[in-house]
Amino acid sequence: MTPARAWFFSFVAVLTLALAAAFPGAALAQARKPNAGKAPEVRVYLLRGLANIFSFGMDDLATKLKARGIKASVHPYTDWQTLSTMAIEEATKGKRRATPVIIIGHSLGADAAIYMGNKVAGAGVPVPLVVTFDPVSNVTSSGRITRVLNYYQTGGAGKRVAGPRVENVDLAGKGLTHFNMEKASDLHQHVIALIEQPARRTPRRPRPIAPPAAAPVATPGAPAGSVAPTAAATPAPPATETAAAPAASAVIPAVIRAPN
């Protein structure tokens, strides 16, 4: 190696050590970056209500989701059929496993969220969650949707949602109205937590092992070779694996802060 090349490599080595000593935090952050909290692999669609002007809480929620690395977009409720087709294609094109789709809507957008969820799930795309804020029609969720969380108020404009996997959460008396419910920060926090939580399943329990049969015991006074009968061991039923879903009370905020 020539003296010039040796000098050059020595200079690079010294410079590298100097930079590492000057900026240790940056190097550590870069090393940890691949293991940082990873956003869930989902696609979120948010649907506004009447005239596309009364549901800007959907925009606020979408901004919060994007800040966490979650792909989210806001649309008019009238576009739900076109969005359904787009969501199905985007979730499945070129993929071995379809990307899960989550749908959130307010007012007429809440009605459309159920319609869209039914159509997307009916096409075989997983829909783990649909969240509705005060839907105004009597809608029914398909059993193909894993979970529907419906926030509404008795005595107001909103309706309960029917279906096999629906949680209807009554927010009457919480200081909210049909026109600001979807803007409540506490509800946003709970929805984000549901989107970010990983799917949890209870571990499969090992099959119980039947105890060995008791050794035969000779009965006093009985003829030679005869033994007392023993109870036959009854095999235990097989264990089953069930999905672990949080209770409805886990997603109902104790105190809801209405937007200013």
How many CA within 13 A on the CB side of residue 238? 4
Instruction: Phi first, then psi: give them for residue 170, nearest 5 degrees.
Output: -80, 120
pTM of the model: 0.67
For all residues of the chain together, what is the average pLDDT?
A: 78
Per-residue pLDDT for 23 more than 60?
Answer: no
Residue 240: CB partners within 8 Å, gap ≥ 6?
none
40: confidence class by pLDDT, cuts 50, 70, 90: confident
Helices (DSSP H) in the chain: which residue ranges?
Answer: 3-22, 24-32, 57-67, 80-92, 108-122, 185-196
Q: How much is the pLDDT for 118?
A: 98
List pLDDT tens digits, range 167-209. 999 999 999 999 999 999 999 999 999 999 864 443 344 444 4
User: Can you say whether the dihedral through the CA atoms of 15, 20, 26, 31 is positive or negative?
Assistant: positive
Q: How much is the pLDDT for 33?
A: 42
List pLDDT tens digits, range 94-118. 999 999 999 999 999 999 999 999 9
User: Which of residues 148 and 36 earns the better pLDDT score?
Assistant: 148
Q: Which residue has the tokens 């949707």?
A: 145
Percent residues over pLDDT 70 in the chain: 62
Q: How much is the pLDDT for 239?
A: 40
Instruction: Phi first, then psi: give them for residue 229, nearest 5 degrees.
Output: -65, 150
Q: How much is the pLDDT for 249?
A: 42
Per-residue pLDDT for 34 more than 70?
Answer: no
Percent residues over pLDDT 90 in the chain: 57
Per-residue pLDDT for 50 more than 80?
Answer: yes
Cα 123 versus chain centre, distance:
20
Angle at the Cα of 82 from the Cα atoms of 76 and 83, rounded to 5 degrees:
65
List pLDDT tens digits, range 217-227. 555 555 555 44
List pLDDT tens digits, range 237-256. 444 333 444 544 454 555 45
State mean pLDDT over 30-45.
66
Q: How much is the pLDDT for 53?
A: 81
Q: How much is the pLDDT for 259?
A: 57
Q: What domains sit in the chain, N to C, each tagged with a CATH number?
A: 41-200 (3.40.50.1820)
3: confidence class by pLDDT, cuts 50, 70, 90: low
d(CA 40, CA 99): 10
User: Which of residues 15 and 2 earns the better pLDDT score?
Assistant: 2
List pLDDT tens digits, range 137-148. 999 999 999 999
Residues 114, 141 contacting (CB under 8 angstroms) = yes
